[in-house]
Amino acid sequence: MPSSYVSQSLIEKAIGLYVRHCRRNGNRFDQPSKDGSHVADVDGMPYVALRNIYGQLAVYRVHPETRRMGFVAQENWPKAFGGVA
């Protein structure tokens, strides 16, 4: 599990990606909560889950070496984040 500082940095990066994703796809933007969002390891792979008071907004998979993030479509969310994958 990443340190608190690294987790917060990953969450902030994911929020920026989520803003761009919403703009590019014409989706309604809901502000994620920095306190409600979290970083978790699922099967050895780090993920960032963005949440707010209404629930899960987005999930990003983090490449462990480069820290690059990829958007995970809702149907592919890991079970740990409410998905079926």
Residues 72/60, Cβ–Cβ less than 8 Å: yes
Predicted confidence (pLDDT) per residue in 16-34, tens digit:
999 999 999 999 999 999 8
Residues 41/3, Cβ–Cβ less than 8 Å: no
H/E run at residue 21: helix 4-25
pTM of the model: 0.87
Q: What are the structure tokens assigned to 77, written together? A: 């969310």
Sorting pLDDT into bands at 50, 70 and 90, what band is 82? Answer: confident
Predicted confidence (pLDDT) per residue in 29-72, tens digit:
999 998 899 999 998 899 999 999 999 999 999 998 888 999 99
